[in-house]
Structures are given as C-alpha cells and as structure tokens.
Structure 1
Amino acid sequence: MKIAVIGCTHAGTAAVKAIAAEHPEARITVYERNDNISFLSCGIALHVGGVVKDPEGLFYSSPEQLARLGVDTRMRHEVLRIDTAAKTLRVRSLETNEEFEDSYDKLVVTTGSWPVVPDMEGIRLDNVQLCKNFFHAKEIIARAGAARKVAVIGAGYIGIELAEAFSDLGKEVTLLDNMDRVMAKYLDAEFTDAAEEALAGRGIRTALGERVSRFEGRDGRVAKVVTDKGEHEADLVVLCIGFRPGTELVKGQLDMLDNGALLVDEYMRTSDPDVLAAGDSCAVRYNPTGQQAYIPLATNAVRMGTLAGRNLVEPKVKYRGTQGTSAIKLFDLNIASTGMTEAAAEAAGLDAAAVTLRESHRPDFMPDAEEALLKLVYERGTGRLLGAQILSRADLTQAANTLSVCIHNRMTTEDLAYVDFFFQPHYNHPWNLLNQAGLAAEKQRAEALRRQAAEEQAGAEQAAAKEQAAAEPKPERRASA
C-alpha cells in the first residue's frame, strides 16, 4: 500500500507515526515544504522572551526519527497539484526546482493553516512579520534586538503572549485589535477586564476597537501603523490576526466549509474515501453546538492526526469532537476556558444563562489564598453545561480540563453541583469551586423557574379576570327621549 502525507507539523507527525505502527508494510512518503517538522509554534513567544533558550526543545520529532520508522520524509518539497480522481501528485523540490509525479493509494492531507495576511498598503515593508513557524520565530528574534517600539496586531492568545514577551525585553509595546476586548473569542468581559488591567499595569498600550488601514514606512522599513482611529509608531510589527486552512490544492475536489476547512467524518475521512485529513486544514465537530467549526489548535491536530492513521484503511476509532479547551499565562494570571462564552452562546441563538463565582481557592484559615474567578455558561431550560472560564493567580487551569469532560459528557449544572471531588485544605474547599459554581447555577435556575411560574400564574389570573368580565351581563342602555 502506497501512502502519501502532505504536511508534517502536529497532525502530519501524529498521522505518520500512527500509520507506521498500524501498517509497517506500507510505503509512506511525507512531503514537507519546510526544513523542519513538529515545530511547537505555541512556544514562539517563550523563545522570543528568552524563557526557552534552546529552540531545539520546541521540536518533538525529526526526519531522522521518522526514517527509523521506515518513512521516506521529503523535506523542502512542495506539492503543486493534487488530482484525487487519478490519485496523483505533482511535486517540486525547493532545493533543485525539479518537478515529478507521484501516486498514492491513500492520501492524508495535513497541510495545516497559514496566517491571514491582509492586502493593504505597506504590508510588504521590512519588519512587518508573520508569526507561525520556526523561520518566523528566528526572524522576529533577529529583528527585535534593534527594535524600540513594537506593534502586535491581533489580541488573541498569540498576540497577548508576544506582547508580554516584548514587554519583558524592555520594548514599548502597542497591542491592537479590531475587537473592543482582548481575547474576546475565548473569554467574557469579566475576564478580559482583568487581562487588560494586567497589560496596562506592565506598560503595554492597548488600541482596541481599531481597524488597521495601512502601514507607513521610512527607507523601506515600517515606521507607523495607521488605523481608522489613529496612528501608532512602530519599528517592528508582528501580525497575529488569525489563520486560514491551507486547502487550495484540493479546492473543488473535496467538500469544505466556506472558509476552506475540509469536512471530515468521525473517522477523519473526507468526501473522497481514499483521502483522509486532520489538523488545522479541517473543520471539527464542536460539541457544545454539535456543529462543524474551524478551531485550529495543536491539541485537536494531534488527536485528529492519530485517528487518521488508525482509521486509514478501515474505521476503527471515532473522533470525539472538541470543546476548544485552551489556556494562557499572562504575567501572574492563570487563565483557561472551555466551550462557549456567554457572548458566543447568545450569538449562536442558544437560550443560555451564566453564573459567576468569586471565591478564595482554598480555606481562609490557610496562610495564603488567592481569589478565583469562575464562570459557568449553561442552557437555561435543561441546565446542560455549555462553557466555562477560570482565572486566578493560583494555577487552577486544570479545572478547565475537568469542565471540558463535563461538557463532552453533556452534564448539567445539577450534575456538577453534586459530583465527587476531593477536599484537602492545601488545594480547595470542602465544597470544591466547581461544586459551588454548580450549586450557584442551580439556585439561579430555581429562582428563574419560580419567577416564570409566578408570571404564568399572574398571566392566568389576568386572563381569567378578563374572561369573567366579558361573561358578566352588561346593563341595558335606555333610549334618549
């Protein structure tokens, strides 16, 4: 069996290892246009800020490791064309410019994603940088040394982490986003307010609700970011606007979302049964809604890649979907989220409610305790958990993983209120924070049901009164003389 894998970052690496384990007799060829594989791009900010000294630690596999599994890894090879009907590839070596044809019995598309690059004036000025791969990381570090004022465009996780890293390096940092809050995709206002306060406390300027219109330069190098509301000086600009799936090679051949994300079934099979796909090139099943969504995360990628390898020939293991669980450390704040924010639930048209809890993370009799901010989002009628967010100076981020399992299993606020958690004063209260949040949500639900019942009773009484009034005989009118 001849297998071709296109792309070898997280999903590709996981897929190749799974295929080699499942099918040791197969001829596996990997085509990767970069000169490295398995780069953990989430570590770029740590490397920029000097936390990670040796960038080699940001790789967890290599062509040599794959070769020991019998895999032919073609580095610096770009696939130019895919013909799924003929099961052929057109490939070019980026070292020699030689082009050749290859064929496959099974194809695994793990082409990942690429940063969104807006088509605007000045985008090609020197020192306007992307942030995705190892090459970008090296470029950012090389250019940051001489930079004094840095603008980071995009206040998602990557943008926030880079802003912190540049601040730690002593740079003047401006963080821009067209949304009116940082990390608005992941967190509601109670949490983003705390994050923005932390950023301001470290001297990082935020320019929120501003849309970048162009870049201005001096001697070919960027000098200014111009938005619809003002101007910001910068001699280094890093774009962290977002990502789009890299699926142009199969456009018109495989089913995909409007943004190009490939649609796969629960066994990672595309609309062509001999083509599987995984990672940032794909849509995923988002469990809070049950719908397909584009959520590019390394955690999704490694799971999907492994499943693509396991299910290559026959369906064996189902994909369980995702809650989009994620976390970030911002200075001394530990923040994590899973599932839907309250704003996202409302935007999706769900009848959702939320409860927010502020509580010390362990008993007051302990020598020290940190305040924890915990929010649950749930379906109003059923109490089904839809999402959660947690923030504290204490590291309570694993609570998001626990709540992710709860959402996955369609647990309710009542389930959460009474599920078993341990108690130990070093770590928590006799009623765990998650129990407390479930209890608060159940109290909120009970009060809402009482109000609804009272309103329904009042409405029924008003209707009965009107009906009785209508049924009573009216006095006859006397004709005037």
Structure 2
Amino acid sequence: MFFTSDISCLSTHTSSESEGMACSTNSEKRVKFVVVGGGIAGVTCAEQLASQFTSDSVVLLTAAPLVKTVTNYKRVAKILEDFDVEEQPSTVLEGKYPNLKVIQSAVKTLQAEEHTLHTEDERSFHYEKLCLCSGAKPKLLNRNNPHVLGIRDTDSAQEFQKRLSTARRIVVVGNGGIALELVYEVEGCEVIWAVKDEAIGNTFFDAGAAQFLIPSLALDKPERAMPCKRARYTTEPVADGAAAGMSEATVETGSALGPDWHEGISLRGAEKGSHNVTVEYQCGIKQICTQQEILQSPPGGPQSSDAGDVFFGGTWPVYVQLTNGKTYGCDFIVSATGVVPNTEPFLHGNNFELGADGGLLVDEHMHTTVLDVFAAGDVCSAGWEPSPLWQQMRLWTQARQMGWYAGRCIAAEVLEEPIELDFCFELFTHITKFFNYKVVLLGKFNAQGLGQDHELLLRCTKGHEYIKVVLSNGRMMGAVLIGQTELEETFENLILNQMDLSAYGEHLLDPNIDIEDYFD
C-alpha cells in the first residue's frame, strides 16, 4: 500500500541517511526527534523541527500510506486562517527536508523511561524528544457488525464509496462535521439521518442556523467549476497487511480525513435522483437487527414502525430500531458519533496523565506529564487555563496550530530558550463549509460557558447569509457567520479588542450600515 523505506544501520546506507542515526544495535536507531502521526498535527510538527534543526535527524512515523499536508495557506485575519489539506506521498516531504525520514508503521509499544519507541514492523527508535500526534479514532456504534461503517480515514472513505454505489438507503447516525457533510453530498440514495439533538449541527451552531441550512438538503447541488485537489485517494494496493510488516489493526488505522474529504470521489448510490434525506430528531440507536430477527420479533417489537416501513418479506441487509420507536431497513449504517483520542498504545507502562476527555494532558508548552514527550492535535487535552475566548475542539485548524506550536516548544526546550503560549490560543477561530455555505466560527460562538449572562443579535437573509453575534456586558464574545458575509476580520478584531458595543444596540447588524467600514 506504500513504500516502507528501511533505515536500519546497514552498509547500504548513504552518508546522508546515516547522519545523526548512529545505532546502538542493528535494530535500534538513535534519532534526535521522533513524531508519531501522519495527519496535519504530526506533519506540521515534523516540518517545523526539520526546518529548525537541519543537521539533526527527524523521523515521522505514520500508519497511513499517505501524509496530510497544508496547501493554499492564507491568513484571513490576525488569528483566523484558511487552508486546504492535501494527501501526498512521503517522498514530497523527504524531498523538501533531507533530514526528515517518513516511515509507514504503527507504534507497538512506548518505553518512555528508556526513550525508546517500538513499531509493529519490529523496528526500534531511541529518541531525545518525542511528539505524539496520533489523532483520534471514531466511536463506532458496533465495531463487530459488518453493516456498521465509520468514516475517519482514507481507507474507510474508499469503503464507504464502494458500498454506497450499490445502496438504496443508508442510515447516518451522528450530528458532527462528518454527518453534516455526508447527508448533503450523498445522491442517488435515500438517507435516514438520526440526530440526538433538537436541531442539526448542534456542535457548530444553534437551531436558528440549522433552520437556515435545512432547505439546502432539498436543492440540487451547484456544479463545481473545477475538480477539487485537496484529497488524493490513489494508493498502491497491498495484498496482505502482514506482508508490509503491519498488524491488522495497523492496516485499518490512518490519519483523519481533511476538509472537503468527499470532493474528488463519487458519492452516488444505486437510485436515480438527488437529495432524499429524512431527519429523525432527538433519537439514537436502540437496536441493530438482522432481517431474520425482524421477522421473528414478537408483536410490539421492531416490526411495528410509525415510519411506514413494512418489513414483512423485505430484503434489507440490516434494520435499525431508533429510540423514538421507528424502525428502518437499510443497506448499511454510517456511525458518525464522534471520536476519542487515540492514546493506544502509549499508556501501557507509562505515567501519562489524561484529561477529562481521555486525551494526553499537555501544559502550555505542549509537554505531557512524561519526560521529553510532547503531544499535539486530537490526541491531547489542553491542560492550561484557557483564554475566556478559546476552547479546544478537535478540528483541522487546531491540529495545525498545535502541531506548529509543539514544534516550536520542542525547539525552545532543546535550545534552552523561553517561549510563551502562542497568540492563536487567545481566540477560537475556524473556517469550514457546510451545505455549500462558507461557515466561520469565532470565540464563544455558541455562548459556551456564558450561562444566562449573554444576549444574541441575529441577521438572516434566506438563502444568502446567517449572522449571529454573542454579546456579554456589551462586549462581543463570539460569532457565527454563514455565507459570504466578509465580516470575519472585523468581528475577530471586535472580539479581541473587547470594545464596549452597548451604544450600538441592534444597529450593530443593521444591513444598511457597512460594519466593516465603520470599525475599520
């Protein structure tokens, strides 16, 4: 599935390959820096280290056949940034940084006291500094059910595309980013969308924004001007994971998909037509049944459905009973119910302290509670006192910021230089796209942690824009911008400056006032 470049200390090594990699044994390599994870956090951290320490060796370990790189980076405002994510072969990174070696293999064990990392393909690395950027893994409804599929990495996206091509109906469970993108993009297949909340997209916006977006599900998607090049899914096939020195678990593990992961691949089912989405609110999965279990169920069991789905003699491969009493037959189930930090196998035998969400706890310098081990991205939990305007969310923007900052922190420790918490952690910012609308989230965009001590200002133009501002004591604490509002830089400044806006009242969002020009 990928080329695994053996860097063991053999006579075939060139001088550049061997530089900084003197071995204590034939199977152990001594390297200055090891970074685990081929996602944005890991790649960004490895690039930072390789560029700062050009004469020292940097090893990037990744379980995926391709690595994620940031492209088309653009600073939108002081903190707010926008970029694309592109999957590339390791040779691109190695060509850019001669002292960086990318190795496709998962971590088997970590012996932190010995500063040694062992991989699934029986290699060992003795490091001076280690940064864990292993990301997160999906929380599947039922990992052992062949009809339940999670979408997290390249392999699972390919499997989803393959199954969808012959599907008539699928059930999507979840209300996060993957679910939002999925239900909008799938065509030629009926979608039953089960969400546990009163509105869609509860993680990112409120019920008002959800109502603004819902009509898009019934519209034909606009034609794209040109194919998206953010994601590349072509890899060299491998017949057997063991042949590449990887366990079965390693083959299934990869770094998370990037923004717009669905572009460039066909998400069309077996039926004609475009969108056909039914949303079931405030419910979850009560039971997953086979056709035989449905037919043998007692009266009042999953056979009785208020959805009008009659199963007697049906031919669906799997059936889903929802907690609202409805039952649907479908071809397969997509579990998009969130992720958990991928801390295995680092915990065994090591004294890592974990955050409340199960991530590796890191301080303001991205250092874990284990000597010389740092962490960044989805695998870690921020352990410092956060800014009143920032919160951790496992998103691509934060993965890049944390990876970049972790690289700087490691360099500062090696060079014995002081470093302060980066300014990017002063304000939460995120740019994404849902239902073909640009979405910008700033600060406490959903009034997180503000209790009742806040007020909301709204401006909505159907099919064009949705603007929500969160105010507390007259000061802007957060905002949601949907559509081409061009207000992100102005609002970022207003939040950072904490200017008293009480005098403006509702006129702050008056469409007849050029806010951007007024506060310039």
The reply to whether TM is greater than 0.5 is: yes
Measure, in 2, the Cα distance between the counterparts of 1:228 and 1:176. Answer: 10
1:83 is displaced (CA, Å) by 2.2
**Aligned ranges for residues 16-415 of structure 1 at < 5 Å?**
16-38=46-68, 59-68=86-95, 69=97, 70-75=99-104, 77-93=105-121, 99-118=122-141, 120=142, 123-166=143-186, 169-199=187-217, 202-218=275-291, 222-229=317-324, 230-251=326-347, 253-284=351-382, 289=388, 293-314=391-412, 315-316=418-419, 318-320=421-423, 321=425, 322-331=427-436, 333-342=437-446, 344-346=448-450, 349=451, 351-358=453-460, 371-380=464-473, 383-392=474-483, 395-396=484-485, 398-400=486-488, 402-407=490-495, 409-414=496-501
Measure, in 1, the Cα distance between the counterparts of 2:433 and 2:477. Answer: 20
Measure, in 1, the Cα distance between the counterparts of 2:107 and 2:200. Answer: 37
Measure, in 2, the Cα distance between the counterparts of 1:399 and 1:262. Answer: 36
More displaced stretch, 261-270 vs 153-162: 261-270
Measure, in 2, the Cα distance between the counterparts of 1:81 and 1:405. Answer: 46
Going from structure 1 to structure 2, the CA distance change for 1:296 and 1:222 (only over 3 Å counts) comes to: farther
Q: Report if the CA contact (8 A) 2:198-2:207 is conserved.
A: no
Q: Report if the CA contact (8 A) 2:175-2:203 is conserved.
A: no
1:200 is displaced (CA, Å) by 5.4
Measure, in 1, the Cα distance between the counterparts of 2:430 and 2:408. Answer: 24
Q: Report if the CA contact (8 A) 1:12-1:305 is conserved.
A: yes
Q: Report if the CA contact (8 A) 1:288-1:339 is conserved.
A: no
Q: Report if the CA contact (8 A) 2:130-2:372 is conserved.
A: yes
Aligned to 1:443: none
Going from structure 1 to structure 2, the CA distance change for 1:328 and 1:388 (only over 3 Å counts) comes to: same
1:249 is displaced (CA, Å) by 3.2
Measure, in 2, the Cα distance between the counterparts of 1:416 and 1:30. Answer: 54
Larger gyration radius, structure 1 or structure 2: 1
Letter in 2 for 1:208: Y
Aligned with 1:306: secondary structure?
A: helix
1:142 is displaced (CA, Å) by 0.9
- The unaligned stretches of length 5 or more in structure 1 are 41-56, 94-98, 361-369, 422-427, 439-481
Going from structure 1 to structure 2, the CA distance change for 1:301 and 1:416 (only over 3 Å counts) comes to: farther
1:276 is displaced (CA, Å) by 1.6
Identity %: 20
Measure, in 1, the Cα distance between the counterparts of 2:438 and 2:33. Answer: 43
Q: Report if the CA contact (8 A) 1:28-1:71 is conserved.
A: yes
1:32 is displaced (CA, Å) by 1.3
Q: Which of the pair has the greater relative contact order for Cα pairs under 8 Å at 6+ separation?
A: 2
Output the TM-score relative to the length of structure 2. Answer: 0.66
1:151 is displaced (CA, Å) by 1.4
The RMSD of aligned alpha carbons is: 3.2
Q: Report if the CA contact (8 A) 1:323-1:404 is conserved.
A: no
As a proportion of its length, which structure holds more helix? Answer: 1
Measure, in 1, the Cα distance between the counterparts of 2:129 and 2:387. Answer: 32
1:400 is displaced (CA, Å) by 3.8
Output the TM-score relative to the length of structure 1. Answer: 0.71
Aligned residues between the structures: 383
Aligned with 2:362: secondary structure?
A: coil
Q: Deviations over 1:190-245 (max 9, x none)?
A: 11122234335653110110111222234998422211112122102211111111
